[in-house]
Every structure is written in C-alpha cells, then in structure tokens.
Structure 1
C-alpha cells in the first residue's frame, strides 16, 4: 500500500514540476492583437503580461477612439492568451497525474 502511495506522491510532484515548467515556457509564447486597421498592435505573453503596445500617431488625435480600440484589443488579446494558458497548463497537469481509479484523468 505505501509503495503505491509513494509512487502517487512522486507522480504528483512530477505533475507540479511540469506545470511550473509550462508556466515558465508560457512567458515566451507571444500573443498579438491588431486593431484599427493595423494602427494599434498589442503583444502579450500567454501568461497575460503585456510586452508592447504600438499606437499609430493618427490615433492620438481622438482620445476616446483610442481608449475604445485599446479596450477592445486588450480584451481580445487577454482572451487569446488565457485560452492558450489554460489549455497548456491543463495538458501539463494531466500528463503528470497518476492513474487514480475513479478520478477521470
């Protein structure tokens, strides 16, 4: 019994390590979102850290319009990054989980 428990604990530690490695790797996965016919570009990591925002000068004339474009583009970029993040972390966790009957992994 304890041998199986030790094996399961080892598998859980492996799963945790894979998740941490995946989190680190997701810092280098970049997500781009473009708005306003290419006049606004946002880049963030799959961990949802903003890396850059590029704004064409023509958008600087209308603050309200710029704010609207920023909100739309940021929300889309964050949604894309979140989807990637969740899928990758779930796959990493699942791949390292021990086979526990009845757990559905």
Structure 2
C-alpha cells in the first residue's frame, strides 16, 4: 500500500516538474494575430505575454478606429494563446497523472 502511495507521489512530482518545464517552454512559443485588413499585428507568447504590436500608419489618423482594432486583435491573440497554453498543459498533466480510478474523466 505504501509503495503504491510513494510511487503515486513520485509520479505527481514528476508531472509537476513537466508542467513547470512546459510553462517555461511556452514562454518561447510566439503566436501572431493580424486584424482582418492587416492593419494591426500582435505577437504574443503562448503564456499570454504581448511581445509586439505593429500598427499601420493609416490608423494613426483615427484614434477610435485604432482602439477598436487593438482591442479586437489583442483579444483574438489572447484567445489563440490560451488555446495553445491549455492544450499543452493538459497534455502534460494527463501524461504524468497516476492511474487513479475516476480521475481519467477530468482530463478529457
């Protein structure tokens, strides 16, 4: 019984280390989102840190339009980064989890 418990604890610790390593790796994964007309481009990491925003000069004349494009494009970039982040972390967590009856449905 205690051997099984120690084995599970070891697997949980290993899974936690893999999750932390994946989080660090996701800092290096850069995603790009561009507005429909290509006037705003946002580069963001898979950990949802905005790295760069490029704005077409034509938007500098209309503050309200620029704000709208920024909000739209940044939100889409965050959604994309969140999907990548959650998919990667869920895969690592599921891979490292010990086989505990009833827990498998939590990671589907």
TM range, smaller chain: over 0.9
* Other structure's SS at 1:12 match: helix
- Structure 2: gaps of 5 or more residues: none
Considering only aligned residues, what root-mean-square deviation do their CA atoms show, in Å? 1.0
1:70 and 2:62 aligned: no
Question: Runs (4+) of structure 1 moved beyond 6 Å?
Answer: none
TM-aligned CA deviation for residue 36 of structure 1: 5.0
TM-score (norm 2): 0.93
Cα contact 1:36–1:69 (8 A) shared by 2: no
Question: Cα distance, 1:55 vs. partner?
Answer: 0.7
Alignment length (residue pairs): 105
Structure 2 residue 52 is matched with structure 1 residue 45:
no
Q: Is the 8 A contact 1:46 1:81 kept in 2?
A: yes
TM-score with structure 1 setting the length? 0.95
